């Protein structure tokens, strides 16, 4: 059977080319690897190699021909034992339909069925049983307990990161874990985020459940490729075959007087990426319940803690295997006049602002998002239906922020319920300054939230 040589596409965008040169004549013998022709496109000259050996039986497009469509039959090679009679009927009809490139069914021509994104299924947080007792503990202790409980429940769970073991955690979040679980499961890594994040991804692909601590999320920028290109996308790219059940956790957001490189909030970065779940809790109970849920979850979870809140104390329910569902916001203060929505340490500022507003006769509802991706817009919209006014509070930059996303979603889905424009109260749009006064001017404050809330309630200056 003779071998047809079609004009190949030699790059993703090539649609046609010129035959710059034939290196062989009809009747010449060609071997695998021979460059039979040179093809020119507007971008480059490329060599057309053959994989086959035989005799060049016929050249159908002459040297110098221009604008030849990809897929056009340009030559025929005769295999061993074939003679020229096999060429009968093959003519140099460049535009013959048979030599059209075999294009796949065109998605342009056919009507494309509408596909809508599924709405994230959220398990509703179970009410605590009557008579539940509580233990007052710090956020730091709650996080540690979450890891310890999950490690006791599942031998596949292990913790790795810089200073998590012998040093007992740079921020003491992993205190005591080495003593209980040993150095096979609580692993000090070198200071090489890119490498150990990738190693964690590989371990997760093999079915283990790593909890990878970044000493701070500022350093996770060195590992961003592994987090996004490997951890987040592999399940999709493998058609659901390769899972990455792991948690990347550590402090995130502004610290105190550490300057621009160690003081920033990455929530909106990670929330941008499909394939990741992004959690940023505030209270110790949520920290414990959400971290346990994150470790149990089969997906890669970005778990953003806040250094300032590590020492804050809250009541944590004494419930066995206490988990909080991922993807569900919580109304932490009920009110009717204005909704304040925030996450992480922003919730503290919002709650403080709500107290001040109450003193002025404005009854604010405060929502703690807890999970940033998927974003629980239902809870926000329910609240807006009641209050008709909203202020988004975020300790982070405003441009392309979580607050911006909430604002846009409200325009699309709750415009009719709004009696005032959505307002965003965020950090100033600058790298974090070091000077104490400038730093204070940069970060969110309850005063700024109060002012914004009054503005959307049209009570400014009263």
Partner 1 sequence: MAKKPSPRTTKGGKPAARRKAVQKKAPEATPEDLIQYYKDMLMMRRFEEKAGQMYGMGLIGGFCHLYIGQEAVVTGIQAELKDGDSILTSYRDHAHMLACDIDPKVILAELTGRSTGISKGKGGSMHMFSVEHGFYGGHGIVGAQVPIGAGLGFAHKYRGTDNVSVVYFGDGAVNQGQVYESFNMARLWNLPVIFVIENNQYAMGTSLARASSEVELFRRGESFKIEGEAVDGMDVLAVREAASRAVAKCRAGEGPVLLEMKTYRYRGHSMSDPAKYRSKEEVSKMRAEFDPIDQVKNRILDNKIMTEDELKAIDKEIKAVVSEAADFATTSPEPDPSELYTDVLVAE
For every residue of 89-133, DSSP letters joined together read: T----TT-GGGS--PPPPTTTSPPPP--PPPPP-PPPPPPPTT--
In angstroms, the first-to-last Cα distance of the chain is 91
Residues 257-276 that bind partner 1 (CB under 8 A): 274-275
Residue 45 binds to partner 1 (criterion: CB under 8 A): yes
With CB under 8 A as the contact rule, the residue among 229, 256, 261, 460 that binds partner 1 is: 229
What DSSP string describes 49-65?
E-S--EEEEEE-S-TT-
**Residues 172-211 as x/- pattern, contact with partner 1 by CB under 8 A:** ------------x----xx-x-xxxxxxxxxxxxxxx---
Q: What SS3 class is residue 19?
A: strand
Q: Which residues partner with 135 through β-bridges?
A: 316
Give the contact letters, 279-308, x = binds to partner 1 (CB under 8 A), - = no: ------------------xxx---------
Binding residues for partner 1, rule CB under 8 A, total 72
Residue closer to partner 1 (CB basis): 4 or 447: 4
Q: Residue 117 interacts with partner 1 (CB under 8 A)?
A: yes
Secondary structure in 3-state letters for 280-311? CCCCHHHHHHHHHHHHHCCCCEEEEECHHHHH
Please state, in angstroms and rounded to a whole number, the distance separating the CA atoms of residues 161 and 141.
18
Is the separation of the CB atoms in 328 and 304 below 8 Å? no
133 lies in the binding site for partner 1 (CB under 8 A): no
Q: Choosing from 141, 262, 394, 395, which is the catalytic residue?
A: 262
Tell me: does residue 235 bind partner 1 (CB under 8 A): yes
Q: Which of residues 77-106 bind partner 1 (CB under 8 A)?
A: 101-105
- Letters for 150-169 (x = contact with partner 1 by CB under 8 A, - = none) are --------x-----------
Q: Which of 18, 138, 168, 226 binds partner 1 (CB under 8 A)?
A: 226
Residues in 312-371 at the binding interface with partner 1, rule: CB under 8 A: none
Could you say which of 89, 118, 129, 131 contacts partner 1 (CB under 8 A)?
Answer: 118
For residues 194 and 169, give the distance between their C-alpha atoms in angstroms, rounded to a whole number. 19
By C-beta, is 131 or 239 nearer to partner 1? 239
Per the annotation, the verdict on 272 as an active-site residue is no
Shorter beta-carbon distance to partner 1: residue 67 or 240: 240
17 binds partner 1 (CB under 8 A): no
Token pair listed for 204: 């997760």
Burial class (CB in 10 A: 0-12, 13-18, 19+), 17: buried
Could you tell me the smallest distance in angstroms from the CB atom of residue 362 to partner 1? Answer: 39
- Name the minimum Å distance from CB 7 to partner 1: 8
Q: Please state, in angstroms and rounded to a whole number, the distance separating the CA atoms of residues 185 and 208.
A: 11
CA distances from 74 to 56, 108, 121, 130 (A): 11, 28, 55, 81
372 binds partner 1 (CB under 8 A): no
Q: Which of residues 58-77 bind partner 1 (CB under 8 A)?
A: 70-71
Say whether residue 121 binds partner 1 (CB under 8 A): yes
Active site residue 194: no
| C-alpha closest to that of 278 among 295, 263, 294 | 294
**Among all residues, which ones are annotated catalytic?**
193, 262
């Amino acid at each position: 059977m003779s071998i047809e040589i079609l004009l190949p596409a030699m790059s993703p965008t090539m649609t046609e080319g010129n035959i710059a040169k034939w290196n062989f004549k009809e009747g010449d013998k060609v071997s695998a690897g021979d460059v039979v022709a040179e093809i020119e496109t507007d971008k480059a000259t490329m060599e057309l190699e053959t994989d086959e050996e035989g005799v060049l039986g016929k050249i159908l497009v002459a040297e110098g021909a221009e604008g030849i469509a990809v897929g056009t039959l340009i030559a025929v090679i005769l295999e061993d034992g074939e003679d020229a009679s096999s060429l009968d009927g093959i003519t140099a009809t460049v535009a013959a339909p048979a030599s059209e490139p075999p294009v796949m069914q065109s998605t342009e021509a056919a009507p494309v069925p509408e596909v809508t994104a599924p709405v994230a299924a959220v398990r509703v947080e179970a009410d605590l049983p009557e008579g539940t007792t509580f233990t007052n503990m710090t956020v730091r202790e709650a996080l540690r307990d979450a890891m310890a409980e999950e490690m006791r429940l599942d031998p596949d769970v292990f913790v790795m990161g810089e200073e998590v073991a012998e040093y007992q955690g740079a921020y003491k979040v992993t205190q005591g874990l080495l003593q209980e679980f040993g150095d096979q499961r609580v692993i000090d890594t070198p200071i090489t985020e890119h490498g150990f994040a990738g190693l964690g991804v590989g371990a997760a692909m093999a079915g283990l459940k790593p909890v990878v601590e970044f000493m701070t999320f500022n350093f996770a920028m060195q590992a961003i490729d592994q987090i996004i290109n490997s951890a987040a996308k592999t399940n999709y790219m493998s058609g659901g075959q390769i899972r990455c059940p792991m948690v990347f956790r550590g402090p995130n957001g502004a610290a105190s007087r550490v300057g621009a490189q160690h003081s920033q909030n990455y929530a909106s970065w990670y929330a941008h990426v499909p394939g990741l779940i992004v959690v940023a809790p505030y209270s110790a109970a949520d920290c414990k319940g959400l971290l346990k849920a994150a470790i149990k979850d089969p997906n890669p979870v970005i778990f953003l803690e806040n250094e300032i809140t590590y020492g804050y104390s809250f009541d944590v329910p004494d419930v066995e295997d206490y988990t909080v569902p991922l993807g569900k916001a919580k109304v932490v203060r009920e009110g009717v006049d204005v909704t304040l929505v925030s996450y992480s340490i922003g919730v503290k500022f919002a709650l403080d602002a709500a107290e001040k507003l109450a003193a002025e006769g404005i009854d604010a509802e405060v929502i703690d998002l807890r999970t940033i991706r998927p974003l629980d817009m239902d809870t926000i919209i329910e609240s807006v239906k009641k209050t008709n006014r909203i202020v988004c509070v975020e300790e982070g930059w405003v441009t392309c922020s979580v607050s911006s996303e909430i604002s846009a979603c409200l325009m699309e889905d709750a415009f009719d319920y709004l009696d005032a424009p959505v307002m965003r109260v965020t950090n100033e749009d600058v790298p974090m300054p070091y000077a104490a006064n400038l730093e204070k001017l940069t970060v969110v404050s309850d005063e700024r939230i109060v002012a914004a809330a009054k503005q959307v309630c049209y009570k400014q200056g009263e």
